Amino acid sequence: MTCILGIDPGSRTTGYGLIRIEAQKITYVDSGTINATDDHLPTRLKKIFLGIKEIASQYQPDEAAIEQVFMHANAGTAIKLGQARGAAIVALANLEMNIAEYTARQIKQSVVGYGNADKTQVGQMVRHLLQLRVPLKTDAADALAAALCHAHSRTSLNGLIEGRSYRKGRVW
């Protein structure tokens, strides 16, 4: 059994989502957001750090997946996003957790099948894949999508590492 923590970093709202893989079945564990609404950036970064640390301590995930920073039109926004991402990564690194990084395009491609999918499509597909009936906050859905992307990637990589190549339904 493997538990994966997905993180969608944001300087004011950071999404998190946890899934569990057991016997090739993926199940939903929890999701939500860490709200860091203080005007002072260092205080927001501290809230993100402590929030991720608390979630990781509570659920004891085996691995984590986080979305990479993409370039914004506003460089200041990109820098703040990078700092929020850094706070989350340091919280996980302090727990000596394996951390995988994925671009937004990789996550969307893995979950929706289309790298330019919008947030609504991602949220709907996450709910479908995890068989959730309740709506999810956008940031939580994006974090769950990162966790699902990692689950799919690690499954593919495990097959390659074990020397398996899948072609036309046959194992070679």
- Residue found under tokens 């005007």: 39
Alpha-carbon torsion (17, 20, 25, 28), positive or negative: negative
- Find the catalytic residue in 39, 139, 142, 162: 139
Q: Where are the domains of the chain?
A: 2-171
Q: What digits encode the pLDDT tens for the residues 41-75?
A: 999 999 999 999 999 999 999 999 999 987 667 88
**CA 64, CA 147: separation in Å to the nearest integer?**
7
Q: Say if residue 20's pLDDT is above 50.
A: yes
Is the distance from CB of 87 to CB of 7 less than 8 angstroms?
no
Domain 2-171 has CATH 3.30.420.10: yes
Which is higher by pLDDT, 164 or 87?
Answer: 87
- Residue 67 known to be catalytic: yes
Decide: helix, strand or coil at residue 58. helix
Tokens for 24?
A: 């090739």
3-state secondary structure string across 68-113: CCCCCCCHHHHHHHHHHHHHHHHHHHHCCCEEEEECHHHHHHHHCC
Q: What is the mean pLDDT of the chain?
A: 88
Measure the CA–CA gap between 157 and 84, rounded to whole angstroms.
29
**Among 65, 92, 93, residue whose Cα is nearest residue 150:** 65
Q: Which residue has the higher pLDDT, 112 or 169?
A: 112
Annotated catalytic residue, options 67, 101, 142, 162: 67
Q: What are phi and psi for residue 65, nearest 5 degrees?
A: -130, 135
Would residue 8 show up in a list of annotated catalytic residues for this protein? yes
54 given a catalytic annotation? no
User: Could you read off the pLDDT of 141-160 as tens digits, one per residue?
Assistant: 999 999 999 999 976 655 44
* Phi–psi pair at 156, nearest 5 degrees: -65, -45
